[in-house]
């Protein structure tokens, strides 16, 4: 995509007081950007964003009216967005809430097709991760993705490596993170619940800050581990400076035995410029 074809975002100027460093401001203002389809193959596509300090939503029909439209979302801040069937924009809130809009060519105002404000996350009775995140060195991150026609919520559990006082980083001024576990849930539309699933079957998930995708794996494929989650280190530290960490937390998680195989250790690598992303064949092509 040629970024020069996108119109300017008028509200950018209202936020420049937040960051003294311009590069940091640019990186933090747009938290995620996705395309509805391949711009080189189709005459119509749009770009959707999670943007600003409130993690709001906006989209732009690149070959349409050429302007940004803010979406009237009810559950900001938003954690993730995906596009289903090229026209449906789905947004995931921090509390597991879910909203969906139809963004159709020629239609001025997007039609909201779904607004589930209180989606229960139903874990297995033996799950030990329901209270995770209450300690200073614990945190979690939500991902939204489509798989086999359904919507998946993936929760990533990680810890920060801190000193014994739990408030100061172990290494210089950085907070290196390490993934511990994943849980996968599938949306039950009828009961408005995220139901935990124990297996991905013949699929693997590629998880990251840029795009997450589900791919079926043939039985004799030896390059990928079935029923696994491949993840990148998308908790990149935006602060400038040496000895900062981020991007190193990459590996593969097995749903069969809950094991984590790390590609790099936090002691082996400093911050990667910039966050690693997965490059995978897309169904557009």
Q: Give residue-wise pLDDT tens across range 230-252.
A: 998 876 555 555 555 566 788 99
Pair 44, 140 in one domain: no
Residue 174 DSSP one-character state: B
Q: What is the rounded average pLDDT for all residues in the chain?
A: 76
Residue 14 DSSP one-character state: G
Pair 134, 176 in one domain: yes
Inter-CA distances, 204 with 171, 226, 254, Å: 34, 6, 10
Q: Count the Cβ atoms, other than its own, within 10 Å of residue 265.
A: 11
CA 88, distance to chain mean position in Å, is 17
* CA atoms of 168 and 137, how far apart (whole Å): 10
Percentage, residues of the chain above pLDDT 70: 64
At residue 213, does pLDDT exceed 50? Answer: yes
| Residue of 124, 144, 256 lying closest to 202 (CA atoms) | 256
Q: How many domains does the chain have?
A: 2
Q: 62, 93, 118: which is the final residue of a domain?
A: 118
Q: Quick: pLDDT tens for 96-108.
A: 899 999 987 666 6
Preceding omega of 77 cis (within 30 degrees of 0): yes
Instruction: Give the pLDDT confidence score for residue 19 in this predicted structure.
Output: 47
At residue 109, does pLDDT exceed 50? Answer: yes
Instruction: Give the pLDDT confidence score for residue 280 in this predicted structure.
Output: 66
Preceding omega of 274 cis (within 30 degrees of 0): yes
Pair 114, 132 in one domain: no
Q: Note down the domain range covering 110.
A: 1-118
- Tell which wins on pLDDT, 28 or 141: 141
| β pairing state of 120-122 and 30-35 | unpaired
Instruction: Give the pLDDT confidence score for residue 4 in this predicted structure.
Output: 46
Pair 164, 236 in one domain: yes
Instruction: Give the pLDDT confidence score for residue 16 in this predicted structure.
Output: 43
Instruction: Give the pLDDT confidence score for residue 114 in this predicted structure.
Output: 85
Q: 94, 118, 142: which is the final residue of a domain?
A: 118
At residue 161, does pLDDT exceed 80? Answer: no
Pair 250, 188 in one domain: yes
At residue 167, does pLDDT exceed 60? Answer: no
Pair 16, 133 in one domain: no
At residue 142, does pLDDT exceed 50? Answer: yes
At residue 200, does pLDDT exceed 90? Answer: yes
155 within a domain of the structure (yes/no): yes
Instruction: Give the pLDDT confidence score for residue 265 in this predicted structure.
Output: 60
Pair 160, 236 in one domain: yes
According to DSSP, the residues that pair with 197 across neighbouring strands are 184
Q: 118, 149, 180: which is the final residue of a domain?
A: 118
CA 46, distance to chain mean position in Å, is 19
Q: Which of 53-67, 77-91, 229-243 has the highest mean pLDDT?
A: 77-91
* CA atoms of 282 and 272, how far apart (whole Å): 25
Cα angle 231-94-281, degrees, rounded to a multiple of 5: 35
Name the 3-class secondary structure at 15. helix
Pair 174, 55 in one domain: no
CB 210 within 8 A of CB 278: yes
Q: Quick: pLDDT tens for 36-48.
A: 877 775 667 888 9
- Tell which wins on pLDDT, 136 or 215: 215
At residue 228, does pLDDT exceed 90? Answer: yes
Q: Quick: pLDDT tens for 260-276.
A: 998 766 555 555 666 67
Question: What's the average model confidence in pLDDT over 160-178?
Answer: 57
255 within a domain of the structure (yes/no): yes
Cβ burial of 193 (10 Å; 0-12, 13-18, 19+) is middle
CA dihedral 176, 178, 184, 185 (to 10 degrees): -40
């Amino acid at each position: 995509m040629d970024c020069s074809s996108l119109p300017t975002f008028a509200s950018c100027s209202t936020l420049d007081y937040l960051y003294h460093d311009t590069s940091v401001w640019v990186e933090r203002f747009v938290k995620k950007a996705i395309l509805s389809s391949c711009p080189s193959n189709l005459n119509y596509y749009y770009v959707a964003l999670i943007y600003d300090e409130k993690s709001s939503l906006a989209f732009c029909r690149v070959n349409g009216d050429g302007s940004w439209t803010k979406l009237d979302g009810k559950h900001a801040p938003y954690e993730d967005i995906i596009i289903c069937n090229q026209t449906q924009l789905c947004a995931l809130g921090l509390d597991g809430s879910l909203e969906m809009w139809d963004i159709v060519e020629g239609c001025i105002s997007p039609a909201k097709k779904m607004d589930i404000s209180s989606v229960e996350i139903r874990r297995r009775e033996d799950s030990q991760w329901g209270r995770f995140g209450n300690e200073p060195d614990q945190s979690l991150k939500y991902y939204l993705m489509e798989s086999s026609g359904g919507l998946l919520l993936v929760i990533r559990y990680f810890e920060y490596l801190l000193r014994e006082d739990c408030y100061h980083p172990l290494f210089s001024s950085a907070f290196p993170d390490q993934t511990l576990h994943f849980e996968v849930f599938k949306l039950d539309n009828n009961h408005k619940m995220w139901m935990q699933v124990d297996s991905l079957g013949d699929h693997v998930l590629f998880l990251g800050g840029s795009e997450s995708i589900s791919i079926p794996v043939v039985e004799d494929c030896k390059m990928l581990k079935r029923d696994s989650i491949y993840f990148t280190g998308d908790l990149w530290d935006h602060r400038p400076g040496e000895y900062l960490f981020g991007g190193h937390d990459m590996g593969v998680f097995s749903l069969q035995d809950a094991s984590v195989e790390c590609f790099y250790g936090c002691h082996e690598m400093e911050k990667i410029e910039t966050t690693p992303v997965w490059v995978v064949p897309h169904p557009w092509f």
